[in-house]
């Protein structure tokens, strides 16, 4: 599987988080489309097929992620 460079992955993750903070899913068709595009890019970059898994995988692969990071456990409990 191809792996996204950490700089690209970090920027894409940041774009997704900003769009979510701006409530893009409730915005204009353009904003929703952009959020969907960025979510799709995260899924492709992380080899996942759902945005929640992509977010966990992206955060885990970024520089500074701790080996004992429990974000996987948190994501599972949130469902």
Q: What is the pLDDT of residues 22-50, one digit of tens each?
A: 999 899 999 999 999 999 999 999 999 99
pTM: 0.76
User: If pLDDT is split at 50, 70 and 90, which confidence band does 79 have?
Assistant: very low
Q: What is the pLDDT of residue 73?
A: 52
The yes-or-no verdict on residue 76 having pLDDT over 50 is no
The b/e string for 33-62 (b: 16+ C-beta within 10 A; e otherwise) is ebbeebbebbbebbebeebebbbbbbbebe
User: If pLDDT is split at 50, 70 and 90, which confidence band does 72 have?
Assistant: low
Could you tell me which of 58, 61, 54 has the C-alpha nearest to residue 36?
54
The CB density around residue 20, as the number of other CB atoms within 10 Å, is 15
The CB density around residue 23, as the number of other CB atoms within 10 Å, is 10
């Amino acid at each position: 599987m191809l792996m996204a460079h950490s700089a690209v992955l970090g920027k894409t993750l940041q774009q997704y988080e900003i769009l979510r903070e701006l409530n893009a899913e409730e915005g204009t068709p353009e904003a929703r489309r952009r959020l969907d595009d960025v979510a799709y890019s995260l899924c492709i970059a992380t080899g996942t097929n759902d945005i929640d898994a992509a977010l966990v995988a992206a955060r885990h692969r970024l520089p500074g992620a701790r080996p004992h990071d429990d974000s996987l456990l948190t994501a599972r409990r949130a469902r």
